[in-house]
């Protein structure tokens, strides 16, 4: 059966629900992180939500995504839930990987979120492997693998892209380019002209955007999916965004009230307040909210979605705090080898 395309208002409402849930969840993290009960480093997604929400809305629920340590937004865009998300943040048995993983090792295979990892570039090869398996099985599943611009500087990226192009795999490479690896700018790291220049020399479909409008990313992903279907070549989406917070942790570089954490990663003044202000005007959440109002959605409806998301986040945090830790006797369960 051909997919019936939802109308513009419906698409934007669904995207707003997702993007607002992601933002609410991260605001929840920000609110409670100082209590020190979430024993996991946080690589926050604020700023990248349009990318994950847009791509995942275009995928089917059976399609598979692979992420990296900055994947709160990806998790919520694909799994549409925050109960086991917060269970995981608190290291509890109710977490999506039963409290073993934390923020950098989320997974939810039933929802198609296969793995994320703390090692730069490390999920790209498994994603290509999964896509190869899907092709052999002819099960129609698409893989989307998300990674930062820093991942392009790793050898495994080239091998994986090469193999995917050679084997004509049904996979979308989603490069989330914030032009930073921690506090090192792209021009200080890259011995090549640009990421598009590299990728265009491979035999794949190439799409790029700087948009923070999730609907635009959704439409571009549909285009990528059509191209994969038509010419059987993988797609590469090069998508720019601004990382709103510091590399790790819950404050921005420009928070006047929150002092920079001692032993923080970033150099002073590695990016400008002007750039921050410019991107902030294009905050993915603001973009969607303004669009909904222009499309005739009432302020009450928008506030109702925001309230529902807020309450769901607060309830999920409460349940996570009350939930049990994994049992000590199960410490060595779910690992490859035991002594
Ligand atoms: C193989 C490897 N090298 C170095 C690191 C240390 N490291 C952690 S995050 C990071 C920056 C990666 O930047 P990017 O891929 O652009 O992702 P972003 O944090 O900007 O989202 C580095 C170098 C690592 N985790 N893994
Ligand atoms: Mg980066």
- The reported pLDDT for the residue numbered 268 is 81
Mutate which of 68, 181, 184 for ligand 1? The one with the most ligand atoms within 8 Å of its CB, which is 181
For the whole prediction, is pTM greater than 0.85?
A: yes
Tell me the C-alpha distance between 143 and 296, whole Å.
35
Q: Is 259 a domain residue?
A: no
Task: Indicate if ligand 1 lies below 6 Å from the C-beta of 182.
Answer: yes
Residues in a beta bridge with 103 = none
70 CA closest ligand 1 atom index: 21
Q: Is 333 a domain residue?
A: no
Mutate which of 41, 52, 105, 120 for ligand 1? The one with the most ligand atoms within 8 Å of its CB, which is 120
- The reported pLDDT for the residue numbered 304 is 98
Q: Is 219 a domain residue?
A: yes
Task: Indicate if ligand 1 lies below 6 Å from the C-beta of 47.
Answer: no
Among residues 28, 49, 21, the alpha carbon closest in space to that of 306 is found at 21
Look at the alpha carbons of 39, 41, 46, 50 in this order and tell me if their dihedral is positive or negative: negative
Q: 178 alpha carbon to ligand 2 midpoint, in Å?
A: 5
147 CA closest ligand 1 atom index: 15
Instruction: Name the packing angle between helices 8-32 and 49-58 (round to 10°).
Output: 130
Residue with CA nearest ligand 1 atom 25: 119
Which ligand places an atom closest to the C-alpha of 153? Answer: 1
99: left (phi over 0), alpha (psi -120 to 50) or beta: left
Task: Indicate if ligand 1 lies below 6 Å from the C-beta of 181.
Answer: yes
Mutate which of 150, 152, 270 for ligand 1? The one with the most ligand atoms within 8 Å of its CB, which is 150
- The reported pLDDT for the residue numbered 338 is 65
- The reported pLDDT for the residue numbered 3 is 59
Tell me the C-alpha distance between 254 and 276, whole Å.
9
- The reported pLDDT for the residue numbered 25 is 98
Q: 181 alpha carbon to ligand 2 midpoint, in Å?
A: 4
Residue with CA nearest ligand 1 atom 7: 120
Task: Indicate if ligand 1 lies below 6 Å from the C-beta of 289.
Answer: no
152 CA closest ligand 1 atom index: 15
Mean pLDDT by 10 residues, the chain (339 residues): 75 98 98 96 97 98 98 98 98 97 97 98 98 98 98 98 98 98 95 97 98 98 98 98 95 77 72 93 98 97 98 98 96 79
- The reported pLDDT for the residue numbered 245 is 95
- The reported pLDDT for the residue numbered 263 is 54
Host domain of residue 221: 8-243+267-316
Look at the alpha carbons of 317, 321, 327, 332 in this order and tell me if their dihedral is positive or negative: positive
Q: Is 337 a domain residue?
A: no
Q: Is 166 a domain residue?
A: yes
Task: Indicate if ligand 1 lies below 6 Å from the C-beta of 74.
Answer: no
- Starting from the edge strand earliest in sequence, which strands make up the sheet with 171-177, in order? 113-115, 64-66, 143-148, 171-177, 235-240, 205-209
Domain containing residue 237: CATH number: 3.40.50.970
Domains identified in the chain, total number = 1
Q: Is 110 a domain residue?
A: yes
- The reported pLDDT for the residue numbered 5 is 67
Q: Is 78 a domain residue?
A: yes
- The reported pLDDT for the residue numbered 1 is 54
- One-letter-per-residue 3-state SS of the chain: CCCCCCCHHHHHHHHHHHHHHHHHHHHHHHHHHHHCCCCCCCCCCCCCHHHHHHHHHHCCCCCEEECCCCCHHHHHHHHCCCHHHHHHHCCCCCCCCCCCCCCCCCCEHHHCEEECCCCCCCCHHHHHHHHHHHHHHCCCCCEEEEEEHHHHHCHHHHHHHHHHHHCCCCEEEEEEECCEECCEEHHHHCCCCCHHHHHHCCCCEEEEECCCCHHHHHHHHHHHHHHHHHHCCCEEEEEECCCCCCCCCCCCCCCCCCCCCCCCCCCCCCCCHHHHHHHHCCCHHHHHHHHHHHCCCCHHHHHHHHHHHHHHHHHHHHHHHHCCCCCHHHCCCCCCCCC
- The reported pLDDT for the residue numbered 75 is 98
- The reported pLDDT for the residue numbered 110 is 97
- The reported pLDDT for the residue numbered 326 is 97
- The reported pLDDT for the residue numbered 264 is 62
- The reported pLDDT for the residue numbered 337 is 74
Residue with CA nearest ligand 1 atom 19: 181
Among residues 119, 40, 31, 37, the alpha carbon closest in space to that of 72 is found at 40
Q: Is 339 a domain residue?
A: no
Task: Indicate if ligand 1 lies below 6 Å from the C-beta of 237.
Answer: no
Q: 167 alpha carbon to ligand 2 midpoint, in Å?
A: 28
């Amino acid at each position: 059966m051909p997919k019936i395309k939802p109308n513009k208002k419906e698409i934007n409402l669904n995207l707003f629900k997702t993007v607002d849930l992601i933002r609410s969840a991260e605001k929840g993290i920000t609110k409670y992180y100082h209590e020190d009960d979430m024993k996991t480093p946080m690589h926050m997604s604020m700023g990248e939500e349009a990318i994950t929400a847009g791509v995942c809305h275009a995928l089917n629920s059976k399609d598979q995504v692979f992420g990296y340590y900055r994947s709160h937004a990806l998790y919520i865009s694909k799994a549409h839930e925050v109960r086991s998300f917060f269970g995981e943040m608190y290291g509890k048995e109710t977490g999506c990987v039963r409290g073993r993983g934390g923020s950098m090792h989320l997974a939810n295979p039933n929802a198609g979120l296969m793995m994320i990892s703390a090692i730069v570039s490390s999920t790209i090869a498994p994603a290509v492997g999964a896509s190869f398996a899907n092709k052999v099985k002819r099960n129609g599943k698409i893989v989307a693998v998300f990674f930062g611009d820093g991942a392009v500087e790793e050898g495994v990226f080239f091998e994986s892209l090469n193999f995917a192009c050679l084997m004509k795999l049904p996979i979308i490479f989603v490069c989330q380019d914030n032009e930073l690896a921690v506090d090192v700018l792209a021009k200080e790291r890259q011995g090549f002209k640009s990421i598009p220049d590299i990728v265009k020399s491979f035999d794949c479909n190439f799409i790029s955007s700087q948009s923070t409008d999730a609907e635009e990313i959704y439409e571009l992903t549909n285009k990528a999916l059509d191209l994969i279907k038509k010419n059987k070549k993988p797609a590469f989406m090069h998508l720019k965004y601004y990382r709103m917070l510091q590399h790790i942790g819950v404050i921005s570089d420009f928070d006047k009230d929150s002092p920079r954490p001692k032993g923080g990663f970033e150099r002073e003044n590695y990016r400008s307040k002007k750039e921050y202000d410019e991107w902030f005007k294009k905050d993915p959440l603001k973009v969607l909210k303004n669009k909904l109002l222009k499309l005739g959605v009432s302020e009450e409806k928008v506030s109702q979605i925001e309230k529902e998301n807020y309450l769901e986040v607060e309830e999920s945090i409460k349940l996570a705090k009350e939930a049990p830790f994994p049992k000590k006797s199960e410490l060595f369960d779910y690992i490859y080898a035991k002594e």
